[in-house]
Chains A and B, each alone.
Chain A
Amino acid sequence: MNGLEQALRSLGRELDVPLAPDVVSSVLGRIEPRASRQAAWAGSRRRVSLAVALVLLAALAATLAVPDARSALLRILNLGGEQIELVDELPAVEGALDETTLGEPVTLDEARRRVGLRLRELERRPDRVYLLGERPMAWFVYGPLDDVRLLVSQTPQLMVDRRLIAKKVVGRDSSLEETLVDGSPAFYLSGSPHVVLLLDERGNVIEDSIRLAGNVLLWQDDDIAFRLEGDFTLDEAVELGESLRPPSP
Chain B
Amino acid sequence: MRTYQSLAFRTAYLLTGSAADAEDAVQTAFVKAWRALPRFRAGAPFKPWLLRIVANEAHNRRRSERRRIELPLRATAAQPSGDAAPSPEGAALGRERREELLRAVEGLSDRDRDVLACRYFLELSEEETAEVLGVRRGTVKSRTARALARLREEVDA
Interface residues, chain A, with chain B CB atoms under 8 Å away:
4-5, 7-18, 20-24, 26-27, 30-31, 34, 76-83, 123, 179-185, 221-222, 234-235, 238-239, 242, 245, 248
Contact = CB atoms under 8 A, between A and B. Distances in A.
B73 interface: yes
24 contacts: A4-B148, A7-B101, A8-B116, A12-B117, A12-B123, A14-B78, A16-B73, A16-B74, A16-B75, A18-B9, A20-B9, A27-B31, A76-B111, A79-B59, A79-B110, A80-B62, A81-B66, A181-B134, A183-B32, A183-B33, A183-B52, A222-B35, A235-B139, A239-B134
A15 B74 contact: yes
A182 B5 contact: no
Given A7-B101, A179-B134, A239-B134, A20 B63 contact: no
B106 to A, nearest CB: 11
B78 to A, nearest CB: 7
B26 A23 contact: yes
Nearest to A2: B148
B110 A78 contact: yes
B92 interface: no
Main secondary structure of the interface of B (DSSP, over half): helix
A221 B31 CA distance: 13
B128 interface: no
Main secondary structure of the interface of A (DSSP, over half): mixed
A81 B109 contact: yes
A182 B39 CA distance: 12
B72 A15 contact: yes
Given A9-B121, A31-B31, 11 more contacts: A7-B101, A9-B123, A11-B101, A16-B71, A18-B13, A20-B5, A78-B110, A80-B114, A82-B66, A180-B49, A181-B134
Contact of A14 (B1, B39, B77, B152): B77
Interface in B104-154: 105, 109-111, 114, 116-117, 119-123, 131, 133-136, 139, 148, 151-152
